A and B are shown apart, each in its own frame.
Chain A
Amino acid sequence: MTTAPVTPSPARAATPSSGPGAGLQRRTSALAARVGLLGGLGAALVVACLLAAATGQFHIPVSEVVGSVLHRAGLDLGPLPTHPQAENNLWNVRFPRVVMAALVGAALASAGALMQGVFGNPLAEPGVVGVSSGAAVAAAVVIVFSLDFAGTWTIAVCAFLGGLATTLLVYVMARDNGRTEVVTLVLTGIAVNAVASAGLAFLLFLGNTAAREEIVFWTLGSMNGSRWPEVQVVVPLVVVGLVASLLLARQLDLLALGDRAARHVGVDVERLRLVAIVVVAVLTAAGVAFCGVIAFVGLVVPHLIRMVAGPGHRMLVPASALGGATLLVVADLWARTAIAYADLPIGMLTSLVGGPFFFWLLRRTRRTAGGWA
């Protein structure tokens, strides 16, 4: 979908080509636009991280944050934090939380981009297809029964397995005669989501008060309590997921032609879908495992990137990852500073903004040509 931006945006400012040299010129300017957008988003992410690390119940100047990082990196540059608690607070509380927010944002946004590409529909999202709720049920099982077979990895492993199992179930049920109709798949996703939320309710009922509280906070989504051990679990998942997404990007473009035409230009559609679904499960597990359900990031971010940079996945995937990371770092900063001495659930914030956005997208998609794939 995505209709024409009326004025050509910087990333798409390719001059209409006519002569033989125009092709080269177009490619160069397209490359410059790509580097520009990714560079801009990267810079925004760095600025957001520094601001987030500097802001909190007591303020640490940005220069001191930078100085602290540089000193740890072995460079004797910049001022060190003056407050006695600052260094400790930065490295044990704020940095892991900021890094976690960035990782989760990148994971969720790129999972959304991937999912939309796979189903050729800008409304598809891990939540819609059942990955999030499947992962949520599995994680709740870990919480309620205090499972601990893999240390800090337990909840991540279970979230991944839960998400993967649910998605594969949806996929197999929605698959008929060697192909997957999008409408069937989305409807099956709705049914699975309903069963999963019943399972979640049952686990809430089973759990003791502490477990209930943990599950409730978890379903609201929060970066609270992210420490280095959790970050260490999430980093490899996000790295693997992002690299795999980038490798799939070229083929995902072709999927926009529809299943049959994509096959006609050489895409093994069923295999691509299966691989992409596993990658989405990895990324969603990374996002969900410790921070709970944070909805709509995977919907809003890829859509905005598509409006600026067009639908090509080689640009969309990395730009969505950077954009999602920036968005969640800022959202988390807001969640923990909006009300003094209170940590708002970040999942609530993203849904508050994302819900109406989904409505708007729904209405707009219905109007524009080619919206329903």
Chain B
Amino acid sequence: MSATSRTTDRGLVARGVTVTVDGTTILGGVDLTVLPGEVVVLVGPNGAGKSTLLGALTGDLEPTSGSVELDGVPVASYRARDLARRRAVLLQQQRLAFGFRAREVVEMGRAPWHRAPEAEDDLRMIAEAEARADVAHLAERLYPTLSGGEQARVSFARVLAQGTRLLLLDEPTAALDLQHQEALLRVAVQEAREGSAVVVVLHDLSLAAAYADRVCVLAHGAVRATGTPREVLTPALLSEVYHHPVDVVEHAGHLLVVPVRGPASAPPAPSSPLPKEDSCPV
């Protein structure tokens, strides 16, 4: 990544980001700072505004009010190519209109560096990205014929090949099997340790607990809590945010977040209002 490092790394700063669509406030005054070297995981129930926030962070979506700055410059004032040299994005859905080969899709990640000195690194970056996303063996396959998980990994390889110092990943693990979920997030952490800023939207709270430096819990379009996984992922907070009793247990040094379920045979109790207070280690 050092070959593509930029001079000013002041991270990504969102201030008072508000998004209103048709009179409905989807995001209300969200503040978020992501510094180089850290993995920030966004969690929250459906409709909490995670993807909208990510849209604002990528610059795709202009906030109704508030600002998003990357390295001290408003995201909206970057030219598309300059922004693409600073941040890469993995969307929830990776569509492809035509039957390109997986290798060609990964190569698309190098497009922002076309005719730049960094283009010399193209082959190395592509090979590296393919290896890290475990898609080297798929390189000659046609992208539309790959499985959902394979497509997601090829797209992740494209994002890595872009070689930017900011990664925004929207539910990157959704289509992946257990092995590749862990592998992908390990790569994300590795990127952060090498100086990148990484934002990941996740649904799996145990994954969030294991790989996040900081967790940002969104609910109803606002930040409910931000902090280290141990500070934020508490039974009380999660039960309240998700409207479902949640237990947080410690296993082999990691936090495990599990929803409280009724006896296996019976359906779960309709709505037990309070979470279990004592979270006992297994």
Q: Which residues does A use to contact B, with CB under 8 Å?
A: 1-4, 14, 16-17, 23, 120-122, 250, 253-258, 260-261, 263-269, 306, 310-312, 368-370, 373
A1-B144, A310-B100, A368-B144 are known contacts. Are A261 and B162 too (CB-CB below 8 A)? no
B112 contacts partner chain A, Cβ-Cβ < 8 Å: yes
The A interface is mostly helix, strand or loop, or mixed, namely loop
A253-B108, A312-B104 are known contacts. Are A373 and B95 too (CB-CB below 8 A)? yes
Q: Which 6 residue pairs spanning A and B have beta carbons closest together?
A: A266-B84, A120-B97, A311-B98, A266-B81, A266-B112, A373-B97
Beta-carbon contact of A370 and B91 below 8 Å: no
CB distance from B117 to the nearest CB of A (A): 16
B99 contacts partner chain A, Cβ-Cβ < 8 Å: yes
Write out, one digit per residue, whether chain B residues 45-82 have a CB within 8 A of any chain A CB (1) or not (0): 00000000000001010000000000000000001111
Task: Specify which chain B residues have a CB less than 8 angstroms from the CB of A256 in the assembled complex.
Answer: 96-98, 100
- The distance in angstroms between the C-alpha atoms of A16 and B96, with both chains bound, is 22
Beta-carbon contact of B144 and A257 below 8 Å: no
Specify which of B94, B96, B97, B144 is in contact with A121 (CB 8 Å cutoff).
B97
A260-B91, A266-B84 are known contacts. Are A254 and B99 too (CB-CB below 8 A)? no
Beta-carbon contact of A369 and B114 below 8 Å: no
- The distance in angstroms between the C-alpha atoms of A310 and B114, with both chains bound, is 21
CB distance from A160 to the nearest CB of B (A): 28
Of all chain B residues, which has the CB nearest A119?
Answer: B97
A254-B111, A267-B80 are known contacts. Are A1 and B97 too (CB-CB below 8 A)? yes
10 A-B pairs (CB sep. < 8 Å): A16-B140, A250-B111, A257-B94, A257-B108, A258-B96, A261-B94, A263-B80, A264-B91, A265-B111, A373-B97
Task: Specify which chain A residues have a CB less than 8 angstroms from the CB of B80 in the assembled complex.
Answer: 263, 266-269
Of all chain B residues, which has the CB nearest A368?
Answer: B144
Q: Interface size of B by Cβ–Cβ distance < 8 Å?
A: 37
Task: Specify which chain B residues have a CB less than 8 angstroms from the CB of A254 in the assembled complex.
Answer: 108, 111
Specify which of A17, A23, A122, A268 is in contact with B98 (CB 8 Å cutoff).
A122
Specify which of A264, A306, A310, A370 is in contact with B88 (CB 8 Å cutoff).
A264
Of all chain B residues, which has the CB nearest A264?
Answer: B89
Task: Specify which chain B residues have a CB less than 8 angstroms from the CB of A373 in the assembled complex.
Answer: 95, 97
Q: Told that A17-B139, A264-B84, A312-B100 touch, could you supply 20 new A-B pairs with CB distance under 8 A? A: A1-B97, A17-B140, A23-B127, A122-B98, A256-B96, A257-B94, A260-B60, A260-B89, A263-B60, A265-B108, A265-B162, A266-B83, A266-B84, A268-B80, A306-B99, A310-B104, A311-B99, A369-B144, A370-B97, A370-B144
- The distance in angstroms between the C-alpha atoms of A260 and B88, with both chains bound, is 11
Task: Specify which chain B residues have a CB less than 8 angstroms from the CB of A121 in the assembled complex.
Answer: 97
Beta-carbon contact of B97 and A23 below 8 Å: no
Task: Specify which chain B residues have a CB less than 8 angstroms from the CB of A250 in the assembled complex.
Answer: 111, 114
Of all chain B residues, which has the CB nearest A8?
Answer: B140
Of all chain B residues, which has the CB nearest A260?
Answer: B60
Of all chain A residues, which has the CB nearest B81?
Answer: A266
Task: Specify which chain B residues have a CB less than 8 angstroms from the CB of A312 in the assembled complex.
Answer: 100, 104
B229 contacts partner chain A, Cβ-Cβ < 8 Å: no
Specify which of A23, A253, A258, A266 is in contact with B95 (CB 8 Å cutoff).
A258
Task: Specify which chain A residues have a CB less than 8 angstroms from the CB of B112 in the assembled complex.
Answer: 265-266
A16-B139, A261-B94 are known contacts. Are A266 and B100 too (CB-CB below 8 A)? no
Of all chain A residues, which has the CB nearest B113?
Answer: A266
Beta-carbon contact of B99 and A1 below 8 Å: yes
B36 contacts partner chain A, Cβ-Cβ < 8 Å: no
Beta-carbon contact of B123 and A23 below 8 Å: yes
- The distance in angstroms between the C-alpha atoms of A1 and B97, with both chains bound, is 6
- The distance in angstroms between the C-alpha atoms of A257 and B84, with both chains bound, is 14
B145 contacts partner chain A, Cβ-Cβ < 8 Å: yes
Task: Specify which chain A residues have a CB less than 8 angstroms from the CB of B97 in the assembled complex.
Answer: 1, 120-122, 255-258, 370, 373
Task: Specify which chain A residues have a CB less than 8 angstroms from the CB of B81 in the assembled complex.
Answer: 266, 268
- The distance in angstroms between the C-alpha atoms of A259 and B101, with both chains bound, is 19
Beta-carbon contact of A4 and B104 below 8 Å: no
- The distance in angstroms between the C-alpha atoms of A311 and B100, with both chains bound, is 6
B221 contacts partner chain A, Cβ-Cβ < 8 Å: no
- The distance in angstroms between the C-alpha atoms of A1 and B95, with both chains bound, is 11
Of all chain B residues, which has the CB nearest A265?
Answer: B111
CB distance from B4 to the nearest CB of A (A): 13
Task: Specify which chain A residues have a CB less than 8 angstroms from the CB of B140 in the assembled complex.
Answer: 14, 16-17
B142 contacts partner chain A, Cβ-Cβ < 8 Å: yes
Task: Specify which chain B residues have a CB less than 8 angstroms from the CB of A261 in the assembled complex.
Answer: 89, 91, 94-95
Which of A253, A254, A256 lies at the interface centre, i.e. has the most chain B CB atoms within 10 A of its CB? A256
Q: Which of B100-123 contact A (CB under 8 A)?
A: 100-101, 104-105, 108-109, 111-112, 114, 123
Task: Specify which chain A residues have a CB less than 8 angstroms from the CB of B104 in the assembled complex.
Answer: 253, 310, 312
- The distance in angstroms between the C-alpha atoms of A257 and B107, with both chains bound, is 12
B153 contacts partner chain A, Cβ-Cβ < 8 Å: no
CB distance from A242 to the nearest CB of B (A): 21
Beta-carbon contact of B95 and A370 below 8 Å: yes
B85 contacts partner chain A, Cβ-Cβ < 8 Å: yes
Beta-carbon contact of A265 and B109 below 8 Å: yes
Of all chain A residues, which has the CB nearest B97?
Answer: A120
Task: Specify which chain B residues have a CB less than 8 angstroms from the CB of A2 in the assembled complex.
Answer: 98-99
CB distance from B140 to the nearest CB of A (A): 5
- The distance in angstroms between the C-alpha atoms of A4 and B127, with both chains bound, is 24
CB distance from B178 to the nearest CB of A (A): 25
Of all chain A residues, which has the CB nearest B85?
Answer: A266
Beta-carbon contact of A265 and B98 below 8 Å: no
Task: Specify which chain B residues have a CB less than 8 angstroms from the CB of A311 in the assembled complex.
Answer: 98-100
- The distance in angstroms between the C-alpha atoms of A269 and B60, with both chains bound, is 11
Of all chain B residues, which has the CB nearest A122?
Answer: B98
Task: Specify which chain A residues have a CB less than 8 angstroms from the CB of B123 in the assembled complex.
Answer: 23
CB distance from A303 to the nearest CB of B (A): 11
Task: Specify which chain B residues have a CB less than 8 angstroms from the CB of A23 in the assembled complex.
Answer: 123, 127
CB distance from A60 to the nearest CB of B (A): 43
- The distance in angstroms between the C-alpha atoms of A361 and B249, with both chains bound, is 55
- The distance in angstroms between the C-alpha atoms of A27 and B94, with both chains bound, is 26
CB distance from B31 to the nearest CB of A (A): 24
Of all chain B residues, which has the CB nearest A258?
Answer: B95
